[in-house]
Structure 1
Amino acid sequence: MGVQRFLGMGVIVGAAVGAMLAMQPAQAQARAATPIPAGSKYVALGSSFAAGPGIPPSEPGGPAACGRSSRNYANLVAGHLGLALTDATCSGATTANVLTTSQAGQPPQIQAVTADTRLVTMTIGGNDVDYLGSLDSYSCQDSGHTSCGTVDQAAITAGLKTVGSRIAAVIDAVRARAPQARVVVVDYQTILPVTGPLCTGVPMSDAHLAFERNLRVQLDAATRSAAADRHATLVDVATASVSHNACSTTPWIEKYVVPTGIASYHPKPAGMAAIATMVEGRLS
């Protein structure tokens, strides 16, 4: 009898846990289907592809080192939808800078997320695998310059194995602090042409190009997987921007060779505007 009662209780507890886990996707879907009222708190998290360095004007009062633009996609979305934006993005941010580590005199970005937050967007993970740093270093090297950064391919390869779980941890942290928030993962723009040759202003050897193309594919896959596993909304900028790469006739992204004050291999104003439209489309 005692054993039977114990087994019965185990079945009941197991069923309850299973039911709770099964509810999580449904709850995420319910949040996804609920319009976000004007005036709601919106928090933007992420690295430079969310911050918008080099796109004037700079966000008033923001830390200069973070390079936040008043025309980054978060500001555009907030303006169009009438949301109350807290922009915590910062150029160079890693997932650690979102979760645990201060940057540019700012606390970890996650601290901006509070229980009353109703929308969180994030573009994060690229700096965990030196995506932009490696692109810049290789283009510097392949331009014949001498004062260039180095690229640790082994460290990047190792980082790609864990970056998906790091992005998932950011989603988890957001949900823990703001259970009612809609969580939107905005992946990175496609920078280089996915096939064929490069163009003037984008110097890179064939070997370095092959490495960077593979890095992009793996980072995109990790981001997609993290969003899917955590039932977050994915804004697939990577695919949408393939035909708007740095060598295209309608680029959303800057080349390596740019005028002073412009950030190499970073979003143009047209790119930020396009991303904002995509985010708004996923929220409607």
Structure 2
Amino acid sequence: MTRTRRRSAPARRAAVATVAATAAGVSLLSAGAGSAQAADASAAGAYKHYVALGDSYAAGTGLPQATNDTCKRSTSSYASLLAAAYKPAVFKDVTCSGATTKSLWNKQGSQAPQVNALTKDTDLVTVTLGGNDLGFTETLTQCVVASQLGNTCKASVAKTLDAKLDYVASRTRDMITDISRRSPNARIVLVGYPRLFPADGSRCAPYKAQVPLAASDVAYLDQVTRELNVTQALVAHQAKTEGKKVTYADTYSAFTDAHMCQSDAAKRWINPVLTPNASTGKLTVTSGSAHPNGVGHLMMGRKAYQVLQG
């Protein structure tokens, strides 16, 4: 007789939340846009050719229902939820964990350049990209190591990150320009990054085991996320004034009190840095660490939907 290993309580709760979020996806995406049925009816068919571009925050990395192991892409991602709402005739999801803006125009391992998915017929493009250009994952790792040594990381990484923000701004402009050139009729939604940490680092103190960071570094990493989002929002605004069909979707504000140190786990939309292994319960880094959970992706999708319907 084969016995199925029982998952830990946190893993079971996460799985239930993801299933519930996915099942409720279409109707909750419509919430706030009038009658749910009326909104769903108006959304279906509004876009015929939808292309999703981006990195792990767009791919749904860490969520179940993976469709591509290399890119850690999931059907529970915000892009898939939007596709479920709009029901386009063509949906191309080329998001990929680890993607940078370079991945738009160059192969990422075995994956083709993401812009290859764009055509003249594409009428909707969503994209979340730039965090890996900034080196956010590497910075987070440095900050965790510094904390374990009893130090902080801000002094050692701040100068490099400040310089990279200018690079991200330039690459974001190039990205919007090229998408607009390849798909001139496309509505482009630049979906920002959600809030991962609270501004007050002391709020993470009770969760030190799962968020092993100095309080000052928690606040600094939140500041970095805000600066990245503001940088890209300003680029999108400028591009829009120049006639580009681009809008920025602010997901950060939607996650104001839903970061990884939210005391109520049911209201936490971001996975912590370390999560319990489903089999052993041992805290470990996973592909979904410091990424949105199922409800988080639902809310990111909702913000993008509201922008498109507005």
Band of TM-score, shorter chain: 0.7 to 0.9
Aligned equivalent of 2:249: 235
Aligned equivalent of 1:28: none
Aligned equivalent of 2:189: 184
Q: Deviation of residue 183 (structure 1)?
A: 0.3
Q: Aligned partners of 2:81, 2:291: CA distance in 1, in Å?
A: 17
Q: Aligned partners of 1:35, 1:233: CA distance in 2, in Å?
A: 18
Measured at CA, do residues 38 and 217 of structure 1 come closer, stay the same or move farther in structure 2, by a change above 3 Å? closer
State whether residues 35 and 283 of structure 1, in contact with CA within 8 Å, keep that contact through their aligned partners in structure 2: no
Name the TM-score, length of structure 2 as normaliser: 0.73
Q: Aligned partners of 1:143, 1:81: CA distance in 2, in Å?
A: 46
Q: Equivalent residues in 2 for 1:47-86 (5 A)?
A: 47-59=55-67, 62=68, 64-83=69-88, 84-86=90-92
Aligned equivalent of 2:37: none
Rg larger for: 1
What SS does structure 2 have at the residue aligned with 1:66? Answer: coil
Q: Quick one: percent identity of the two aligned structures?
A: 31
Q: Deviation of residue 68 (structure 1)?
A: 0.3
Letter in 2 for 1:136: T
Letter in 2 for 1:277: R
Aligned equivalent of 1:219: 228
Name the TM-score, length of structure 1 as normaliser: 0.79
Which stretches of structure 1, 4 residues or longer, exceed 3 Å deviation after superposition? 34-39, 151-154
Give the aligned CA root-mean-square deviation in angstroms: 2.1
Letter in 2 for 1:102: K
Uncovered stretches (5+) of structure 2, i.e. residues with no partner? 1-41, 151-155, 241-245, 278-285
Aligned equivalent of 2:109: 104
Q: Aligned partners of 1:172, 1:207: CA distance in 2, in Å?
A: 38
Q: Equivalent residues in 2 for 1:86-235 (5 A)?
A: 86-98=92-104, 100-143=105-148, 152-197=157-202, 198-199=204-205, 200=207, 201-231=210-240, 232-235=246-249
What SS does structure 1 have at the residue aligned with 2:76? Answer: coil
Q: Aligned partners of 1:141, 1:259: CA distance in 2, in Å?
A: 22
Q: Deviation of residue 65 (structure 1)?
A: 2.2
Q: Aligned partners of 2:290, 2:122: CA distance in 1, in Å?
A: 32
Q: Deviation of residue 104 (structure 1)?
A: 2.9
Aligned equivalent of 1:6: none
Measured at CA, do residues 140 and 58 of structure 1 come closer, stay the same or move farther in structure 2, by a change above 3 Å? farther
Describe the superposition over 1:25-66 as per-residue Cα deviations: whole angstroms up to 9, x where unpaired. xxxxxxxxx97835611000111100111100102xx3x221
Q: Aligned partners of 2:271, 2:188: CA distance in 1, in Å?
A: 28
Measured at CA, do residues 208 and 195 of structure 1 come closer, stay the same or move farther in structure 2, by a change above 3 Å? closer
Letter in 1 for 2:256: V
What SS does structure 2 have at the residue aligned with 1:104? Answer: coil
Aligned equivalent of 2:298: 273
Q: Aligned partners of 1:251, 1:257: CA distance in 2, in Å?
A: 14
